[in-house]
Amino acid sequence: MASVAELKAAIDVALQQIGDGQSAVQAAGEKLAEAQQTLAGALEGSGHETVEAAQASLTQANQELEECLAATLVAIEQAQLYVATL
């Protein structure tokens, strides 16, 4: 059985990993937003359904990344609450 100090240290590592993941998700979101703007500029005025579908997919991807970030914030909060009980 792990000591309290070992458990806290392991949770700290996990929290750092979550933070790293959040940074990666945020960077991905920024790149998707850039891609969406580039696509919109390149295809401005095009009413083709595939263009609209591409834009909709990028919008959905950004929303899902936001949901991912929200979920990681909850995970951090819960882990911190647990550490506080140790």
φ/ψ of residue 81, rounded to 5: -65, -40
3-state secondary structure 4-73: HHHHHHHHHHHHHHHHHHHHHHHHHHHHHHHHHHHHHHHCCCCCCHHHHHHHHHHHHHHHHHHHHHHHHH
Mean pLDDT for the stretch of residues 27-45? 90
pLDDT-based confidence at residue 85 (cuts at 50, 70, 90): very high
- Predicted pLDDT of residue 77: 97
